[in-house]
């Protein structure tokens, strides 16, 4: 992810008119871990057109297990398999100032494997399933390897049930974690009003396309500033209804919009009392 959320394409990281990486642009635009990965990619000399390739297959071919499960569960399994869910450990690694310890058991670091398999809250469910023996006796703590092992030991229909259970446990984890008060204000004042005594107010303008993966960047940056200023009791107002809708949606944003996962985590940490949709005229302070 680029520093500051800047939108970049691969060609932006090359020297103009050449097939050579722009080292200065890479160092100034990307985090250190991404810089090393980019530099490790060799650029060809040809001018052929772009082609679709599946990153997780050596031949670039798209392959998935054949399971009769809904797309939302498939998406979750894919993200969990490739370790890209927004756990507390991954958020901390991405620069979000948060405690990497599991917020439910408050004992172990919250990796994907811990959140879905090893947290006592999750194990209370797995113990009543016929898959508990595999979980209890496994020695590898990568979730991807757990999926490989359990898939080799059970029928495909049962493996689909494992995916369902894992997805539901992740949903329950998010539900417990993201207890944020979201309110729509159908009719509000035409002018900006100060917050109540003891509270701070964050006004944000983030009117971008709902299809954009940059939705919520302004809100996230504002919340990070509020946290740095120790503005714990916070009221958030914006005239961007798509942002309010995204925050109020209880669906998981691990792929569709990972920025909203950051936003939800920050809202919980700040103990925000609400994210309000207001009229543009009442949000003029965000346009100054």
Range with the poorest average pLDDT among 24-38, 216-230, 246-260, 273-287:
246-260
Establish if 107 belongs to a structural domain.
Answer: yes
Residue 90 has pLDDT above 70, yes or no: yes
Question: Does one domain contain both 203 and 276?
Answer: yes
Q: Which of 156-170, 187-201, 248-262 has the highest mean pLDDT?
A: 156-170
Establish if 59 belongs to a structural domain.
Answer: no
Question: Does one domain contain both 256 and 277?
Answer: yes
Question: Does one domain contain both 116 and 187?
Answer: no
Among residues 110, 142, 177, the one where a domain terminates is 177
54: helix, strand or coil: coil
- Higher pLDDT pick, 235 / 24: 24
Yes or no: say if 143 and 170 are a contact pair by the CB < 8 Å rule: no
Backbone angles phi, psi at 182, to 5 degrees: -120, 125
Selection from 115, 79, 246, 131 nearest residue 236 by Cα? 246
Question: Does one domain contain both 186 and 173?
Answer: no
Establish if 100 belongs to a structural domain.
Answer: yes
Question: Does one domain contain both 164 and 220?
Answer: no
Question: Does one domain contain both 245 and 214?
Answer: yes
Establish if 151 belongs to a structural domain.
Answer: yes
Establish if 270 belongs to a structural domain.
Answer: yes
Question: Is the model's pTM score more than 0.95?
Answer: no
Question: Does one domain contain both 147 and 83?
Answer: yes
For the chain, give the number of residues.
288
- Inter-CA distances, 180 with 27, 60, 68, 94, 236, Å: 37, 41, 33, 22, 12
Among residues 130, 154, 177, the one where a domain terminates is 177
Establish if 44 belongs to a structural domain.
Answer: no
Selection from 97, 246, 77, 239 nearest residue 170 by Cα? 77
- Burial bucket for residue 46 (CB in 10 Å: 0-12, 13-18, 19+): exposed
Residue pLDDT, tens place only, 57-79: 555 554 555 667 888 888 888 88
Residue pLDDT, tens place only, 191-220: 888 887 777 888 887 654 444 445 578 888
| Total number of domains constituting the chain | 3
Establish if 193 belongs to a structural domain.
Answer: yes
Q: Beta-carbon neighbour count of residue 108 at 10 Å?
A: 15
Question: Does one domain contain both 133 and 200?
Answer: no
Question: Does one domain contain both 78 and 147?
Answer: yes
Yes or no: say if 187 and 278 are a contact pair by the CB < 8 Å rule: no
**204: enclosing H helix or E strand:** strand 200-204
- Inter-CA distances, 29 with 66, 81, 219, 224, Å: 39, 28, 21, 19
- How is residue 30 written in tokens? 């990307």
Q: What is the mean pLDDT of the chain?
A: 77
Establish if 125 belongs to a structural domain.
Answer: yes
Among residues 154, 177, 200, the one where a domain terminates is 177
Round to whole Å and give the CA distance between 50 and 55: 14
Question: Does one domain contain both 34 and 128?
Answer: no
Q: Which of 29-43, 112-126, 142-156, 256-270 has the highest mean pLDDT?
A: 112-126
Which residue range(s) make up the domain with 187?
Answer: 182-287
């Amino acid at each position: 992810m680029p520093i500051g959320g800047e939108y970049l394409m691969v060609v932006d990281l090359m020297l103009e008119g050449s097939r050579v990486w722009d080292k200065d642009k890479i160092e100034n635009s990307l985090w250190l871990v991404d810089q090393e990965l980019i530099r490790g990619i060799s650029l060809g000399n040809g001018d052929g057109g772009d082609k679709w390739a599946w990153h997780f297959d050596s031949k670039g071919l798209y392959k998935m297990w054949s399971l009769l499960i809904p797309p939302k569960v498939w998406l979750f399994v894919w993200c969990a398999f490739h370790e890209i869910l927004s756990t507390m450990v991954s958020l901390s690694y991405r620069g979000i100032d948060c405690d990497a310890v599991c917020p439910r058991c408050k004992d172990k670091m919250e990796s994907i494997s811990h959140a879905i398999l090893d947290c006592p809250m999750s194990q209370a469910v797995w113990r009543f399933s016929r898959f508990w023996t595999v979980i209890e006796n496994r020695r590898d703590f990568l979730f991807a390897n757990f999926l490989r092992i359990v898939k080799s030991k059970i029928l495909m229909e049962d493996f689909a049930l494992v995916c369902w259970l894992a997805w539901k446990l992740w949903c329950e984890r998010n539900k417990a974690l993201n207890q944020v008060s979201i309110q729509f204000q159908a009719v509000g004042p035409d002018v900006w009003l100060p917050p109540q005594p003891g509270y701070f107010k964050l006004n944000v303008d983030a009117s971008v396309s709902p299809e954009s993966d940059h939705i919520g960047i302004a809100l996230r940056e504002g919340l990070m500033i509020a946290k740095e200023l120790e503005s714990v009791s916070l009221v958030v107002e914006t005239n961007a209804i798509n942002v309010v809708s995204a925050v109020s949606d209880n669906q998981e944003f691990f792929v569709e919009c990972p920025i909203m996962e950051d936003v939800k985590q920050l809202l919980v940490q700040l103990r925000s009392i609400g994210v309000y949709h207001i009229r543009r005229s009442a949000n003029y302070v965000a346009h100054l």
